[in-house]
Structure 1
Amino acid sequence: MQPLEKINDYKWRLPKSYKQGMRVDGIIYASQDMLPHIIKDKAYEQVANVAFLPGIVKYSLAMPDIHWGYGSSFAYSLGYGPDR
Structure 2
Amino acid sequence: MDNQPDIKLERIDENRWRIPRDSRPGMRVDGIIYASEKLIPGIRGDRATEQVANVATLPGIVGASMAMPDIHWGYGFCIGGVAATDVEAGGVISPGGVGYDINCGVRLVRSELELEDIHPQISQLMAALFKNISAGVGKSGPY
Compute the TM-score of the two structures, normalised by the length of structure 2.
0.56
- C-alpha separation in 2, matches of 1:34 and 1:79: 24
Equivalent pairs counted in the alignment come to 84
**Aligned pair partner of 2:44 in 39, 42, 50:** 39
- C-alpha separation in 1, matches of 2:59 and 2:35: 26
Residue 82 of structure 1 deviates from its aligned partner by: 5.6
- C-alpha separation in 2, matches of 1:78 and 1:21: 16
In structure 2, the residue matched to 1:61 is 66
- C-alpha separation in 1, matches of 2:82 and 2:74: 14
User: Which protein has the bigger helix share?
Assistant: 2
In structure 1, the residue matched to 2:83 is 78
In structure 1, the residue matched to 2:24 is 19
- Identify unmatched segments of 5+ residues in structure 1: none
Which one has the largest radius of gyration?
2
Matched residue SS, 1:21: coil
**Aligned pair partner of 2:57 in 52, 61, 64:** 52
- C-alpha separation in 2, matches of 1:39 and 1:47: 11
Matched residue SS, 2:52: helix
- Identify unmatched segments of 5+ residues in structure 2: 92-143
The percent of aligned pairs where both chains have the same amino acid is: 52
Q: Deviations over 1:36-77 (max 9, x none)?
A: 101111210000110010010120010001101211121111
Q: CA RMSD in A?
A: 1.3
- C-alpha separation in 1, matches of 2:36 and 2:87: 32
Higher relative contact order (CA 8 A, sep 6+): 1
Q: Is the 8 A contact 2:60 2:87 kept in 1?
A: no
Residue 81 of structure 1 deviates from its aligned partner by: 2.1
